[in-house]
Amino acid sequence: SQLEEARRALEGPLFADVAGDTAVSFEFFPPKTPKMEEALWETVKTLEPFGPRFVSVTYGAGGSTRERTHATVARIQAETAMPAAAHLTCVEASKAEIDAIADAYWQAGVRHIVALRGDAPGADGFVPHPDGYTNAADLVAGLKRLHPFEISVAAYPECHPDSRGVSDDLDNLKRKIDAGATRGITQFFFEPETFFRFRDRAVAAGITAEMVPGIMPVTNFASIVKMSALCGTEVPAWLGRLFEGLEDHATARQLIAATLAAELCRKLYAGDVRTLHFYTLNRAELSFAICHMLGLRAKVPAKVAVAA
């Protein structure tokens, strides 16, 4: 019946019918301790066989992870077949300092930067360094003058908290793309419609660059509520109900996290999304399970194949 057809179109394909034709990327954070480094490396090795188009490494607030981010990015670039992208922010650094960091990445063979404004380490909002880049668009332009980097920037389906509204936020995103960025990677969100609405508005605002949904698997509801409040992401009531009473059930939370994220991806797929960026939280199995459900299958990485 018509009703059934409409329902099928809304629900999208079953997991078994998802074609595995999605390009994925993975985001990691730089490890603090040798033990965390070991865990990250295991995650990198587990996810590498999916052949992500790139993997990125975050940059701590105020440049606090400058060395660790560099070391992690350089190691991924040198020891894996995956192109590594370095996150870089404008916070508390002069243009000369930022240019030196970017130059060191270029020398290490890194060709992709995720260019961000960043946030002030305190709660006072962003204050540009007197000799620094004033916002992400300014940073993109500076990086492009330095080297022909591939550049990704942040995009906000529910608007950035500092923006004056939807059209302001899209103007800012357009400035970043016009300055030379190739794609936007979105802040996390929980309803597919949030992304579809944003994608339509971006196109209407003349933004033709690809917008890649950022997927955050939720394993710890309390910390997601805090993060969402900071970045302006709406947490739907049903998500809270799902995690009720699971504080002492870590495994159940993992299973739910994988199911929910895969379900969101499946609905995005039904809406013609073919690129996804995963906030891995440096955990292998969660992103592995989600990608597998999306039809991706692990392949032998090129460098290993050549060696064999």
Smallest gap from residue 17 Cβ to ligand FAD (A): 29
Q: Which of 27, 67, 158, 263 is catalytic?
A: 27
In whole angstroms, give the CA distance from residue 273 to residue 157: 15
Strand partners, 212: 185
In whole angstroms, give the CA distance from residue 117 to residue 49: 32
Site string for ligand FAD, 84-113 (x = CB under 6 A): ---x-x------------------------
Q: Does residue 118 touch ligand FAD according to CB under 6 A?
A: yes
Half-sphere exposure of 136 (CA within 13 A, CB side): 27
Neighbours of 148 (CB within 10 A): 11
Cα 230-234-235 angle, rounded to 5 deg: 100
**For residues 18 and 24, which CB has a smaller minimum distance to ligand FAD in the complex?**
24
- Reference 257, options 233, 221, 298; nearest CA is 221
**For residues 12 and 214, which CB has a smaller minimum distance to ligand FAD in the complex?**
214
27 as an active site residue: the answer is yes
Neighbours of 115 (CB within 10 A): 30
By CB under 6 A, the count of residues binding ligand FAD is 23
Rule CB under 6 A: which of 125-184 touch ligand FAD? Answer: 135-136, 154, 160, 162-163, 168-169, 172, 176
Q: Helix or strand or coil: residue 144? A: helix
Residue pair 94/132 in contact by the 8 Å Cβ criterion = yes
Q: Does residue 58 touch ligand FAD according to CB under 6 A?
A: yes
Smallest gap from residue 19 Cβ to ligand FAD (A): 26
**For residues 137 and 256, which CB has a smaller minimum distance to ligand FAD in the complex?**
137
Q: Which residues are near ligand FAD by CB under 6 A?
A: 58-59, 61, 87, 89, 114, 116-119, 135-136, 154, 160, 162-163, 168-169, 172, 176, 185, 187, 214
